[in-house]
């Protein structure tokens, strides 16, 4: 079968690749047909391989030309003439099929492979209309992000549901256009008219405020925000807009921040936080007492079980008294706590059991007269003590059931309930330490480093935006509204939150919503950056998980410089915490409508788990061999030939692939205006201009020293 569209024939088939020998009359890079001029034998152009009633679509990935001898008879003499043999490798990526109801349409993947000597056609305008889904441009699920550099009349669109619904990655070297691509995608969505869309951008380098701020001639237009975007930032170490109350942290967040040792420090810290959160809440206070008693019972179990086999078995009773005497005093002190929730019977049973065990541990008259006053624990005493421990635990099971089944749930270590950090350090933690030191005199020497970190947190001005805050009503709800753009000023009149002034500076009249929240993290200390990012990500995820109608409020988290938050190698606790949170979002967020868009210049430093969960990619120029190899390892093999082009991609050009497009394509991303503040400095222009601005060194120094607030 030969038509005026034929440009060659297949001479080698290798799974999804084919070698095509171009026809002798195909001597240029375009071919004229009744439909016009069509590009052929050009990298990234399309060709068609007809197979029965279907048409296999392939993309040109390599070109070659070699000379081969050809015999010819001229003037009664045999001559050998060199004939050019031109070939190209193509990768088969999809199929144009005929559907009775929908007509012709494109499907990704190949169902029937061509044979040897199969004709190869150039892609006609009708084919390109089907491949680029020209009819589907009006579909609200698709937005245009750029144009094809080969077929310049065709726009490249992405499926919004698939791009955000299954996470996405935007990758490329510095200066290749990542930030502009992030901006182009977000603006394409919002300009489509989607008032309920919301994006939260983790902006590490203060790039995106400029991209979402008007640039008109007059001052008001110049500062007019696009899509009612909101900027949250602090003024150096002075808390202003990016204020994150420490009590929003859960146990794992506090652990990553204060880095307590697992032996003695972590249990003490967690217990003190539980007490602080539950202060004034009777049920929580009872649970904290029960937890402390349980720890003592566990120690008693160990003594009773191991004492007969221990070399120090003769000290068994002494060890019991060291545990039981403080416990008896503690229970006597905590009796009102049980009475407050109607569990006086539980206290009485626990106190009676403790006194019975203490009686069993008393010294005999003979031991008191002896030079060695300690005594071992006999089998009979061990049995009695074991029975008492079991009886107390049975009481606790009933008490826990009564407390936890009530609608007024107790406060736990992860409950985001306010507690004053100064009071925590000076009194609550100190009291817990003193109580535990009564059982283990060496404990104080073990927790010295933790005490130093607690003291640093309340004294260091870098952490003021977390730890120097007073309580206010609706703290968590107000913060979530601010972050998610849901009537952010709703609670400003009741109890003005600390970020209200920063909001009012941007919007004198409160807005019903804002669609882009930019978290300017550029001035945060590196010691706390990952902790804050992890906390914010976790809060959004847990909020989404608590929405009754799952997935009814989709939100997109954009992680600029994502390798900072989700590194493959995380040697520090704060890095591990951030990686754990965002890996959880990557694995579970989709079910709740929470999407990740990760942007990074170093794919090889990104968490493999997060990158593997991304089903759509926009990839700019990548020149580092390690980054190229790493990225190849997480994508399907059918797209790998395209990645050979990555080192040579021009600025603003990228390869888009994955679930968001019908087939992998090279695209020239739409120009955005205004652009993010990520342009390279103009060394020659600035150095050559005698009127170039000079930095105000004194003002910078004053702000650096904390002496100037503005």
pLDDT, tens only, 232-248: 998 878 888 999 999 99
- Checking if the pLDDT of 218 tops 90, the result is no
What's the pLDDT at 695?
87
Q: Looking at the structure, do residues 269 and 412 belong to the same domain, yes or no?
A: yes
Domain assignment present for residue 378? The answer is yes
What's the pLDDT at 404?
67
> Which carries the bigger pLDDT value, residue 576 or residue 682?
576
Q: Looking at the structure, do residues 127 and 258 belong to the same domain, yes or no?
A: no
132/156 Cα distance (integer angstroms): 7
Tens digit of each residue's pLDDT (9 = 90 or more) over 149-179: 888 888 999 999 999 999 999 999 888 889 9
- Checking if the pLDDT of 33 tops 80, the result is no
Domain assignment present for residue 316? The answer is yes
What's the pLDDT at 698?
86
| Residues 392/293, Cβ–Cβ less than 8 Å | yes
What's the pLDDT at 81?
61
Tens digit of each residue's pLDDT (9 = 90 or more) over 636-648: 655 667 778 888 8
Query: Which of 424, 439, 459 represents a domain boundary (last residue)?
Result: 459
Which ranges of 405-517 would DSSP assign to H, the alpha helix? 421-423, 429-437, 443-446, 448-459, 464-467, 475-484, 500-506
Q: Band of the pLDDT at 71, cuts 50, 70, 90?
A: low
Instruction: Give the domain extent around 353.
Output: 251-459
Nearest alpha-carbon partner for 8 in 67, 64, 52: 64
Q: Looking at the structure, do residues 113 and 257 belong to the same domain, yes or no?
A: no
The angle, 0 to 180 degrees and rounded to 10, between the axes of the packed helices 475-484 and 529-546 is 100
As a whole number, mean pLDDT of residues 481-503 equals: 90
Cα 535 to Cα 53, 401, 429, 539, 553, distances in angstroms? 56, 31, 23, 6, 20
491/481 Cα distance (integer angstroms): 9
Tens digit of each residue's pLDDT (9 = 90 or more) over 270-323: 989 988 888 777 777 787 788 888 888 888 888 887 655 544 455 777 888 888
As a whole number, mean pLDDT of residues 61-77 equals: 69
Domain assignment present for residue 219? The answer is no
Tens digit of each residue's pLDDT (9 = 90 or more) over 533-546: 999 999 999 999 99
What is the count of structural domains for the chain? 2
354/347 Cα distance (integer angstroms): 10
Domain assignment present for residue 166? The answer is no
Query: Which of 436, 459, 482 represents a domain boundary (last residue)?
Result: 459
Domain assignment present for residue 600? The answer is no
Q: How much is the mean pLDDT over the chain?
A: 85
As a whole number, mean pLDDT of residues 575-579 equals: 94
As a whole number, mean pLDDT of residues 30-37 equals: 58
| Residues 209/520, Cβ–Cβ less than 8 Å | yes
Cα 573 to Cα 251, 254, 256, 323, distances in angstroms? 13, 11, 5, 34
- Checking if the pLDDT of 679 tops 60, the result is yes
What's the pLDDT at 219?
47
As a whole number, mean pLDDT of residues 689-694 equals: 85
Q: Looking at the structure, do residues 123 and 257 belong to the same domain, yes or no?
A: no
What's the pLDDT at 273?
92
Backbone angles phi, psi at 41, to 5 degrees: 50, 45
Tens digit of each residue's pLDDT (9 = 90 or more) over 646-659: 888 888 999 998 88
Other CB atoms within a 10 A radius of the CB of residue 438 amount to: 14
Domain assignment present for residue 212? The answer is no
Tens digit of each residue's pLDDT (9 = 90 or more) over 109-136: 898 999 999 999 988 888 888 888 887 7
| Residues 473/494, Cβ–Cβ less than 8 Å | yes
What's the pLDDT at 515?
94
What's the pLDDT at 314?
58
**59 phi-psi bin (left φ>0, alpha ψ -120 to 50, beta other):** beta
- Global model pTM greater than 0.85: no
Other CB atoms within a 10 A radius of the CB of residue 404 amount to: 11
Query: Which of 438, 459, 480 represents a domain boundary (last residue)?
Result: 459
- Checking if the pLDDT of 664 tops 60, the result is yes
């Amino acid at each position: 079968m030969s038509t005026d569209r034929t440009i060659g024939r297949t001479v080698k088939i290798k799974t999804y690749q084919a070698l095509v020998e171009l026809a002798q009359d195909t001597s240029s890079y375009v071919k004229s047909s009744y439909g016009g001029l069509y590009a052929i034998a050009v990298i990234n152009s399309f060709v068609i391989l007809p197979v029965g009633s279907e048409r296999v679509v392939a993309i040109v990935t390599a070109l070659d030309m070699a000379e081969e001898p050809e015999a010819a008879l001229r003037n009664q003499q045999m001559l050998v003439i060199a004939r050019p043999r031109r070939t190209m490798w193509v990768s088969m990526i999809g199929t144009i099929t005929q559907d009775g109801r929908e007509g012709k349409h494109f499907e990704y993947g190949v169902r029937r492979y061509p044979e040897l000597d199969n004709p190869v056609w150039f892609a006609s305008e009708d084919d390109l209309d089907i491949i680029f889904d020209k009819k589907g441009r009006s579909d609200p699920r698709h937005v245009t992000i750029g144009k094809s550099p080969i077929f310049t009349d065709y726009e490249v669109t992405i499926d919004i549901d698939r791009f955000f619904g299954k996470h996405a990655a935007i990758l490329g070297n510095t200066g290749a256009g990542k930030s502009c691509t992030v901006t182009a995608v977000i603006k394409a969505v919002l300009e489509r008219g989607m008032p309920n869309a919301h994006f939260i951008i983790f902006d590490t380098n203060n790039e995106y405020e400029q991209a979402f701020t008007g640039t008109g001639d007059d001052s008001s237009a110049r500062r007019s925000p696009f899509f009612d975007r909101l900027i949250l930032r602090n003024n150096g170490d002075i808390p202003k807009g990016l204020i994150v109350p420490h009590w929003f942290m859960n146990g794992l967040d506090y652990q990553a921040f204060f880095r307590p040792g697992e032996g003695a420090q972590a249990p003490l810290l967690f217990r003190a936080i539980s007490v602080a959160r539950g202060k004034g809440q009777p049920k929580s206070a009872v649970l904290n007492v029960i937890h402390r008693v349980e720890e003592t019972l566990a120690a008693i179990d160990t003594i009773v079980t191991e004492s007969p086999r221990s070399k120090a078995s003769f000290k068994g009773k002494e060890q019991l008294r060291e545990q039981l005497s403080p416990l008896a005093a503690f229970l006597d002190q905590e009796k009102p706590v049980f009475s407050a929730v109607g569990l006086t019977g539980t206290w009485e049973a626990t106190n009676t059991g403790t006194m019975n065990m203490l009686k069993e541990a008393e010294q005999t008259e003979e031991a008191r007269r002896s030079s060695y006053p300690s005594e071992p624990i006999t089998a009979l005493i061990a049995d009695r003590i074991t029975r008492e421990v079991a009886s107390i635990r049975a009481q606790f099971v009933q008490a826990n059931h009564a407390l936890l089944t009530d609608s007024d749930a107790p406060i736990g270590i992860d409950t985001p309930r306010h507690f004053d950090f100064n009071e925590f350090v000076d009194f609550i933690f100190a009291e817990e330490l003193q109580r535990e030191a009564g059982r283990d005199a060496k404990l104080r020497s073990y927790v010295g480093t933790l005490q130093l970190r607690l003291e640093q947190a309340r004294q260091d001005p870098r952490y003021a935006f977390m730890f120097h805050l007073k309580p206010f009503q609706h703290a968590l709800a107000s913060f979530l509204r601010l972050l998610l753009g849901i009537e952010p000023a709703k609670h400003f009149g009741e109890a003005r939150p600390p970020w209200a002034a920063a909001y009012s500076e941007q919007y004198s009249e409160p807005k019903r919503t804002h669609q882009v929240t930019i978290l300017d993290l550029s001035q945060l200390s590196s010691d706390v950056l990952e902790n804050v990012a992890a906390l914010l990500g976790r809060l959004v995820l847990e909020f989404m998980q608590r929405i009754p109608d799952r997935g009814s409020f989709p939100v997109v988290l954009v992680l600029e410089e994502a390798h900072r938050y989700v590194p493959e190698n995380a040697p520090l606790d704060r890095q591990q915490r951030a990686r754990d949170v965002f890996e959880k979002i990557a694995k579970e967020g989709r079910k709740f409508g929470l999407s990740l868009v990760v942007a990074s210049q170093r794919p090889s430093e990104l968490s493999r788990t997060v990158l593997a969960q991304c089903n759509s990619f926009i990839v700019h120029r990548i020149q580092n061999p390690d980054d190229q190899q790493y990225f190849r390892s997480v994508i399907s093999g059918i797209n790998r030939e395209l990645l050979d082009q990555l080192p040579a991609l021009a600025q603003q050009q990228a390869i888009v692939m994955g679930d968001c497009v019908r087939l992998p394509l090279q695209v020239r991303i739409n120009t955005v205006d205004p652009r993010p503040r990520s342009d390279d400095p103009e060394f020659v222009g600035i150095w050559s201009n005698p009127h170039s601005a000079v930095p105000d060194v004194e003002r910078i120094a004053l702000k650096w020293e904390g002496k100037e607030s503005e």
